[in-house]
Structure formats: C-alpha cells, structure tokens
Amino acid sequence: EDQVTQSPEALRLQEGESSSLNCSYTVSGLRGLFWYRQDPGKGPEFLFTLYSAGEEKEKERLKATLTKKESFLHITAPKPEDSATYLCAGSGGYNKLIFGAGTRLAVHP
Amino acid sequence: EAGVTQFPSHSVIEKGQTVTLRCDPISGHDNLYWYRRVMGKEIKFLLHFVKESKQDESGMPNNRFLAERTGGTYSTLKVQPAELEDSGVYFCASSQSTGHYGYTFGSGTRLTVV
C-alpha cells in the first residue's frame, strides 16, 4: 500500500536555527514528490515538485531534495514567518496525491 | 488570477441532514480534485474530474457522497445523509494539466456533523 510518513510531527526552532524535515515514501511508480506549506485555516500552498532521485529545488530559505526512499526539506536560517505545517505528498500511477500527516514548524524570534 | 474558491467555509449540520459543498476551480483548469482531512488524519483523496467526467473516484468513502461537475466548470460534493464521521475539512484543488506543476488548493470547507 502506498504510504508517506513525515517526521518529526512538530519542530520548534529559534530564528536563524537551520534544520531539516523528513519525508519517507513508498509509492508505486512515483511520478512526483510534492512539498506544500499550509497555514491555519488555509489550503495547502504548493512549494516544489521533485521527479527523480538526486534532484534538488530551492526557494528562498527552503531547499527540497529527493532520494529513492526519502525527501528532505531543508530550512536555512528560518524566520518566524516560516512557521506553518509542511506537507509532503507523493503521486503514483494516477494523479491523486498521497499525503503525509505533516510537520508543524514553529520558529520563535 | 483568482484562486480556487470553496463555499461555504464552515457548515454545521445535524446527523441525517444533507449538505452540499461547492468548488469553483481556476478558470481553464480541466482537472478538479476533492480531498478531505478528518480529525487527526492525513489529507486523503476523494475523486478526480477531468472536465465533466469522473476520472478516478476510488477515494469516495461510500454512496452517501455524490460529486458532480456540470459543464466542466464548478463542482459540488453532496453528502446525504450526513453521519458524524463525515466531519472534517474538505479541500478542492485544480490543475491545468496533470498537476505535476502543482495543484492549487482552495481554503477548504470545515464540515461539522452533530
């Protein structure tokens, strides 16, 4: 059965303290690995799609990487406005996304 | 461009009643998806429309749920009769092609069945 697991469930950082979020996946015929950001009361907001092992993408303080079993979202020198829930999702042979439970990130000044 | 619009944003209904959720996708997006998150669980796929046709409805939990997309524009998701376990947040998303450039999600409808 296709599955996506994220860790940690929650992460508290001081402003400027870099860290990484983990996403482990078992998705048959993975066509894409997605990262989303979700703020309270809002829908997921698209960040990145990764397609193959070794691929990396960056956006401001965020960098996503992909291996054959995992993806990492690296956050460099985070700011309080980076506080949100970060969701990982895999897309297999069809277009539906299989989501992980998310990592709740809190960045304190 | 306008984003994906969902309404109502919140709905509280009694068990056994009917509720209809609506989603207006981004104009020109042929692909429309429904997802939901029930308390404490991951966001899970319900179904996928391509224009007005149901491409994949493997995630629909049971026959109390009916989704339509008349004319390939907006979509509705009707729950009839609603049960307590249907409570959760229902998200709609749309994409122009197969979604690998990113699906755009709406803000969701929070459904509470009491």
In sign, the C-alpha dihedral spanning B70, B76, B80, B86 is positive
A48-64 tens-digit pLDDT? 999 999 999 999 999 99
- What does the pLDDT average to over A21-27? 96
For the cut 80, the answer to whether the pLDDT of residue A94 exceeds it is no
B28-43 tens-digit pLDDT? 899 999 999 998 899 9
Q: Does A14 touch chain B (CB under 8 A)?
A: no
Quickly state the pLDDT bin for B102 (edges 50, 70, 90): confident
Of residues B72 and A57, more confidence is placed in A57
Cβ separation B91–A43 shorter than 8 A: yes
For the cut 80, the answer to whether the pLDDT of residue B48 exceeds it is yes
- What does the pLDDT average to over B71-86? 95
Mutate to test the interface with A, among B42, B92, B107 (most CBs of A within 10 A): B42
With beta carbons under 8 A apart, name residues in chain B contacting A95: 31, 33, 48, 55-56, 98-99
A66-82 tens-digit pLDDT? 999 999 999 999 999 99
The pLDDT of residue A96? 87
Q: How far apart are CA B55 and CA A95, in angstroms?
A: 9
Q: How far apart are CA B45 and CA B33, in angstroms?
A: 8
- What does the pLDDT average to over A34-48? 95
